[in-house]
Amino acid sequence: MSHIEERRIGGVTVRIDRTLCVAFEVCIDLAPTVFVFDDEGIVTFTRTETDVAREHLIEACRACPVDALVVIDEAGTEIVP
């Protein structure tokens, strides 16, 4: 598995930097239809595409205490962290 994962969700691109994740689980608690732990205990995307409110997704990514989650808007601007 790559150290960087990206998925387009709710009109934004979400990037997971798996090298930064330390498994606080806040993102999973806030967006369980988007994020899960893999077998190594590192956050990854759920297997299926999901429809989630953009604001809810951004809140879940912003809650990451180690900035392992990045959100990029349609214009290519990083809005989280």
pTM for the model stands at 0.93
Domain ranges of the chain: 4-80
Is the pLDDT score of 1 beyond 80? no
Give the CA count within 13 Å in the CB-facing half-sphere of 78. 7
Q: pLDDT-derived band of residue 47, with 50, 70 and 90 as boundaries?
A: very high
pLDDT the model gives residue 25: 96
pLDDT tens, residue by residue, 54-77 = 999 999 999 999 999 999 999 999
CA distance 1 to 77: 26
CATH number of the domain located at residue range(s) 4-80 in this protein? 3.30.70.20
